[in-house]
Every structure is written in structure tokens, then in C-alpha cells.
């Protein structure tokens, strides 16, 4: 239990991800060695097995990342952004376009962080032009990039889950997992509802954005 608690605590206080995982691995090893249940050689072998078990997910994620980079290099993402910008006519359509844009880019890149970075500047321009509160824009980017990141069969999360299942003797395709990702579907539903029924905009209404500070 101690390694799990240590990883959780270090993550919550903002320690670097790789450092947190490394500390968790070695803390587990130290506890196992001190208890006599684990030898140094067995510990090293377990680490090696862990690396090997992730090879399939790693190479597939690398392949998908390369395809995404080719799409971006040959202008596919720029075309998508241009087409969606032309469909915006008001505040709600601006919110829908931001949500659609980050969702489509996430589908193309299979990386929600990269999708937010790519769309961020365009979303800021749409937000300023159609008076979408920037806090609302940030929320839409976060919500809809996570929706598709959790259900894409070629995203790292589902590839890792399928690889771990296979490692434990359960032959599982990533497509078999998608129907059970109810959290992502609920997130999409409430995200869309929030555009048409602003039930969670209380803070934005009480503390409206001062647009004169925004460079239009």
C-alpha cells in the first residue's frame, strides 16, 4: 500500500511524472527486499518483464503518432481548422466549433495534450471574436479532448489497457473496451448539454470576463 500512497501524494503535490513513477518502482523494490520476499535479481527481472509487456502498445502508439504527424505536415489539420472556422456565426456555434475542433484534432493525433496545444490559438481567437468566456473555452477544450482520448481504439490509454489484459491471459481488442467507457460518453453528453443549457456558468455570470483586456 505504501508505494501507491507515495505515488498518489507525490502526484498531487506536482512532482514530475517520471520521477514519481521511478520513486514508486524503487520504493516497491526496497520494501520487497527488506521483507525478504524479493531478491535483487528478481526485482531487476520484474522491471525487465514490465518493459517487455509494453512493447506492443509502445510500437503501435509510435506508429499512430507518426501517421498523425504526416497528416499535420501535409496540411490536413490546417484545412480542418479553416473549414470549421467558416461555420461559426454566434456564441453557441462558436462553442460547438471549439468542441468539434479539439475533438477532431484529438482523433487525428490521438493525444489530447497535443490537440489542445494545436487548437489553443484558434480557440482563443474564436473566443474573443464571439465573446465566449475564456474560462468556458478552456473547459470545452479540456472536456472534449478527454472524451475522444478515452474512446479512441488507437489511443495510448486503450492500447495500454488491452496490452495489460493480454499480458494477464485475457485476449482483448481495444474495440471491445470502447462500449464500456461510460464515463467518456457521459462527459460528452453533459458537455454538449452545457452549451445549450448553461447550468454550470454561475461563476462566469457572477464574475464576467473583462473583454477590454483581451487582444481582439
Domain count of the fold of the chain: 2
Cα 158 to Cα 150: distance, rounded to the nearest angstrom: 7
Is 172 found in the same domain as 96? Answer: yes
Tell me the per-residue pLDDT of 21-61, one tens digit each, with 9 for 90 and over: 889 888 988 888 888 777 888 888 888 887 777 776 677 66
Is 112 found in the same domain as 21? Answer: no
- Collapsed DSSP state (helix, strand, coil) of residue 51: helix
**Cβ neighbours of 87 (radius 10 Å):** 11
Is 91 found in the same domain as 19? Answer: no
Task: Give this prediction's pTM.
Answer: 0.63
Question: What is the extent of the structural domain holding 198?
Answer: 55-213
pLDDT of 78 higher than 80: no
Is 96 found in the same domain as 203? Answer: yes
Is 47 found in the same domain as 61? Answer: no
Is 84 found in the same domain as 18? Answer: no
Q: Which residues contact 110 (CB under 8 A, 6 or more apart)?
A: 61, 64, 65, 68, 149, 152, 154, 155, 156
pLDDT band at 213 (very low <50, low <70, confident <90, very high): low
Is 82 found in the same domain as 129? Answer: yes
Q: Which of 9, 35, 53 is the last residue of a domain?
A: 53
Is 63 found in the same domain as 158? Answer: yes
Amino acid at each position: 500500500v505504501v508505494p501507491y500512497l507515495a505515488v498518489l501524494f507525490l502526484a498531487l503535490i506536482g512532482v514530475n511524472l517520471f520521477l514519481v513513477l521511478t520513486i514508486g518502482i524503487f520504493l516497491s523494490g526496497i520494501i520487497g527486499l527488506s521483507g525478504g520476499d524479493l531478491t535483487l535479481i528478481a526485482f531487476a527481472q520484474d522491471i525487465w518483464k514490465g518493459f517487455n509487456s509494453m512493447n506492443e502498445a509502445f510500437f503501435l502508439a509510435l506508429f499512430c503518432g507518426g501517421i498523425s504527424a504526416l497528416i499535420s505536415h501535409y496540411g490536413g489539420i490546417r484545412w480542418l481548422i479553416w473549414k470549421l472556422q467558416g461555420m461559426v456565426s454566434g456564441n453557441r456555434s462558436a462553442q460547438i466549433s471549439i468542441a468539434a475542433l479539439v475533438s477532431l484534432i484529438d482523433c487525428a493525433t490521438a493525444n489530447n495534450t497535443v490537440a489542445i496545444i494545436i487548437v489553443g490559438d484558434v480557440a482563443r481567437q474564436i473566443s474573443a471574436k464571439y465573446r465566449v468566456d475564456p474560462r468556458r473555452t478552456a473547459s470545452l477544450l479540456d472536456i472534449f479532448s478527454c472524451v475522444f482520448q478515452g474512446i479512441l481504439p488507437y489511443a495510448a490509454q486503450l492500447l495500454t489497457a488491452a496490452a495489460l489484459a493480454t499480458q494477464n491471459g485475457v485476449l482483448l481488442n481495444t474495440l471491445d473496451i470502447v462500449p464500456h467507457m461510460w464515463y467518456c460518453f457521459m462527459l460528452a453528453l453533459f458537455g454538449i448539454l452545457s452549451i445549450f443549457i448553461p447550468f454550470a456558468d454561475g461563476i462566469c455570470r457572477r464574475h464576467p470576463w473583462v473583454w477590454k483586456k483581451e487582444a481582439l
